[in-house]
Amino acid sequence: MKLEEATRKQNSWVVIPKPNSRATLRLFCFPYAGGAAHIYRSWSDTLPPFVEVCSVQLPGRGTRIREEPLSDLWQVVEEAAQGLQPYFDRPFAFFGHSMGALICYELTRQLESENKTGPKHLFVSAHRAPHLPRIEPSFYDLPDDELIDELRRLKGTPSEVLENPELMHLMLPLMRADFSVCQIYEYQAAAKPLACPITVFGGLEDTVTNEQLQEWRQHTTATFKLKLFPGDHFFIHTSQESLLRELAQALLPLASPTS
């Protein structure tokens, strides 16, 4: 067995729900704050057969539950770049929702700045353009009760979890680390925009506005597209069918092995 194949088999960074040796494109999917690789487990059922869905598993969740979650975006990017490298042996694209959008954007920047192979397409979802300042106050360091109130307001955590003290005792350190990744982040001006196309997805009822999403346009010299779906910040679940249909159409031009 080749070293690269052995590395992939024991790699903790990637979960592949349905391995597809005939795929000509890998789609790496990065989770939102508090999310794990399983949120993308059904995507392979809908996306075209030339796509192999690779769910990114960050430390502190899922199969990596015993690992310390990372609270600094630059450390996440650095470690993800190393962890995903064995899977960059065929064309790939990135998809990230909310926190995941920020991670895969900065990872793309790093790959391009180092003249390494980057994604053929960058899909960012439910996150304002990175250069826009954060308006809302940070809450990653709030007392437990207040942080739980914020989680309830964001509507991304089931009420049965929020009301379970034992589960919340396990979840809060992870949520603090993930929110820290997003809320401590400070944009550093790029020497040049990305070379790959950017497609942005947003929710019509999300607090991330159309104007904030449109600002992603300046971060690429290639094509740009914005598509909005019914729903709030978690339209990724409530409008999943429509989202995957749009994603599949955007991936079609990448079907060829030489694309």
Per-residue pLDDT reduced to its tens digit, 161-212: 778 888 888 888 998 999 999 999 999 998 899 999 999 999 999 999 999 9
How far apart are the two ends of the chain, measured CA to CA in Å? 28
Rounded Cα–Cα distance for residues 252 and 259 (Å): 10
- Cα dihedral 131/105/30/229 (nearest 10): 60
Q: Is 72 inside a domain boundary?
A: yes
Residue 211, domain member (yes or no): yes
Per-position DSSP letters for 100-131, written without gaps between them: HHHHHHHHHHHHHHTT----S-EEEES---TT
Is 176 part of any domain?
A: no
pLDDT the model gives residue 6: 43
Q: What is the mean pLDDT of residues 8-17?
A: 79
How many Å is the Cα radius of gyration of the chain? 18
Residue 159: per-residue pLDDT:
77
CA atoms of 90 and 16, how far apart (whole Å): 15
What CATH number does residue 250 fall under?
3.40.50.1820
Q: Do the domain assignments include residue 8?
A: yes
Please pick, among 98, 125, 180, 239, the residue that the annotation labels catalytic: 98
Does the pLDDT at position 121 exceed 80? yes
Comparison of pLDDT for 136 and 129, the residue scoring more: 129
Total domain count for the chain? 1
Contacts for 66 with CB less than 8 Å, ≥ 6 apart: none
Q: Is residue 105 part of a domain?
A: yes
- For residue 180, is it within any domain? no
Phi, psi of 118 (to 5 degrees): -110, 180
For residues 204 and 231, the answer to whether their CB atoms sit within 8 Å is: yes
Chain mean pLDDT for the chain: 90
Domain that holds residue 23: 3-135+190-254
Residue 246 within a domain: yes
Whether 98 sits among the annotated catalytic residues: the reply is: yes
